[in-house]
């Protein structure tokens, strides 16, 4: 980051080249460095400056969208991803941008569109692996919750065994505690 600050100061003073391309590269590199160290507000400012300097470069929109997404500004991330898709001519980059867009759509609550975009832009193996990972996470969470409920029930059962209550009373007490 310090290196890019020096370059930008040098450009402002006239020591270094002040060409549009060199300013864009310095801001882009510094924005990327800020994002890497999780300094998202500064990264957002630098990528926005890149777009002001040259609004035809899709990577600037994509990187700013990633920063917006990390800041939970999903609508802005979606807009920047749409702009990146419009501006790119490379099919592999377009595919990556569409995948990122699908994840943002999911975060915005557009589940059908997100699923359709994921299916279209992932290979069958990538998509099945993605579904398997999500299913596994959901299954692990359900198992964890069930183990927690069982643990609470057994604790209540032990506690109430001293008072000789029926299983009906124990279940009723457990339901009241979960509510």
Q: List, run by run, the mean pLDDT of 10-residue segments along the chain (179 residues).
A: 56 58 84 87 91 90 93 92 91 86 87 80 70 72 84 78 60 67
Question: Residue 110: its pLDDT value, please?
Answer: 84
Q: What is the pLDDT of residue 152?
A: 84
Quote the pLDDT of residue 3: 56
- d(Cα 8, Cα 24) in Å, to the nearest integer? 10
Provide the pLDDT for residue 32. Answer: 87
- Give the pLDDT of residue 64: 93
Predicted local confidence at residue 98, as pLDDT: 87
Instruction: Give burial (CB, 10 Å; 0-12/13-18/19+) of 101.
Output: buried
Main-chain phi, psi angles of 17, to 5 degrees: -55, 135
CA angle 93, 98, 105 (to 5 degrees): 155
Smallest CA-to-CA distance from 65 within 87, 43, 86 is with 43
Rounded distance between C-alpha atoms, residue 104 and residue 109, angstroms? 9
Instruction: Name the CA radius of gyration of the chain, rounded.
Output: 26
Of 176, 172, 174, 179, give the one whose Cα is nearest residue 150.
174
């Amino acid at each position: 980051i310090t290196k890019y600050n020096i370059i930008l100061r040098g450009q402002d003073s006239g020591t270094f080249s002040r060409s549009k391309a060199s300013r864009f590269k310095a801001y882009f590199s510094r924005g990327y460095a800020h994002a890497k160290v999780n300094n998202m507000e500064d990264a957002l400012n630098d990528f926005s400056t890149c777009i002001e300097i040259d609004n035809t470069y899709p990577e600037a929109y994509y990187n700013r969208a990633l920063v917006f997404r990390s800041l939970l500004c999903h609508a802005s991330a979606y807009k920047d991803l749409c702009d990146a898709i419009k501006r790119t001519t490379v099919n592999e980059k377009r595919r990556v941008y569409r995948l990122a867009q699908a994840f943002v759509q999911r975060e915005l609550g557009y589940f059908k569109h997100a699923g359709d975009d994921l299916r279209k832009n992932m290979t069958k193996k990538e998509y099945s692996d993605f579904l398997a990972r999500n299913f596994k996470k959901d299954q692990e969470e359900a198992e964890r919750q069930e183990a927690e409920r069982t643990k609470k029930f057994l604790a209540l059962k032990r506690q109430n065994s001293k008072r000789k209550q029926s299983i009906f009373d124990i279940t009723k007490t457990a339901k009241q505690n979960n509510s």
